[in-house]
C-alpha cells in the first residue's frame, strides 16, 4: 500500500504553525485537535520544521514554565524527515522506527500535501493483513 491511499481515506488536512507561534499556543492546538505534532511552515509555505508533544515535554523539562512563552522556532525539529505520496507503508515504518518519530509530513514538489502518523500506518497495515487472512481462509475453505 502506498501513502497516497492512506491520504485518500484520512484526508490531506495538516495543522500548521508559524515560527513565532508560542509553545503554549502550539500545545493548546495539539490538545484541542487531539493530535501529536504540528508542522512549522515559513512565509513561503515550505516546511521548516515540526514540533511534537515530545519536543514540548523536552522544552518544559529543560526550561520550566518559561518554555511555554518560547517561539516554535526554538523547540522545533529543523531537519524534517518526510515522504512522498508514492512511498510505501514498509518504507514509512522503517523510517519511523529508525528515526524514532511518530509523524511524517508528506511533501510533493516542495509542497506539504499531508501528514502520516504511526497510528495511520498501523491502522492501514492491520487492515491489509486482515484482508490477506480473510482471502487465505476463503482459499483454504474452498480447497
Q: What is the DSSP string of 86-101?
A: T-BHHHHHHHHHHHT-
Q: Provide CB contacts within 8 A for 76, sequence distance 6+.
A: 19, 40, 48, 49, 50, 51, 55
For 35-90, what is each residue's pLDDT tens digit? Answer: 999 999 998 889 999 999 999 999 999 999 999 999 999 999 999 999 999 999 88
Average pLDDT of the residues of the chain: 92
pLDDT, position 1: 67
**3-state class (DSSP) for residue 82:** coil
**Total domain count for the chain?**
1
Q: Which helix (H) or strand (E) holds 67?
A: none
Q: What count of residues does the chain have?
A: 143
- pLDDT grade for 140, boundaries at 50, 70 and 90: confident
Cell numbers linked to 82 = 518526510
pLDDT, position 142: 82
Q: Provide CB contacts within 8 A for 137, sequence distance 6+.
A: none
The mean per-residue pLDDT over the stretch 121-127 comes to 84
- Of the two residues 39 and 123, the one the predictor is more confident about is 39
**CA 42/CA 19 separation, integer angstroms:** 7
Domain residues for 114?
A: 3-142
The domain that holds 97 is classified in CATH as 3.10.580.10
Amino acid at each position: 500500500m502506498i501513502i497516497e491511499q492512506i491520504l485518500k481515506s484520512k484526508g490531506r488536512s495538516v495543522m500548521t504553525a508559524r515560527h513565532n507561534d508560542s509553545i503554549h499556543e502550539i500545545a493548546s492546538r495539539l490538545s484541542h485537535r487531539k493530535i501529536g505534532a504540528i508542522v512549522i511552515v515559513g512565509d513561503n509555505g515550505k516546511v521548516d520544521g515540526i514540533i511534537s508533544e515530545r519536543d514540548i515535554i523536552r522544552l518544559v523539562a529543560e526550561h520550566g514554565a518559561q518554555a511555554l512563552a518560547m517561539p516554535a522556532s526554538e523547540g522545533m525539529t529543523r531537519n524534517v524527515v518526510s515522504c512522498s505520496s508514492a512511498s510505501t507503508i514498509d518504507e514509512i515504518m522503517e523510517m519511523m522506527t529508525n528515526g524514532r518519530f511518530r509523524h511524517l509530513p508528506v511533501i510533493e514538489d516542495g509542497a506539504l500535501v499531508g501528514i502520516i502518523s504511526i497510528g495511520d500506518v498501523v491502522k492501514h497495515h492491520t487492515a491489509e493483513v486482515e484482508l490477506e487472512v480473510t482471502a487465505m481462509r476463503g482459499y483454504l475453505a474452498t480447497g
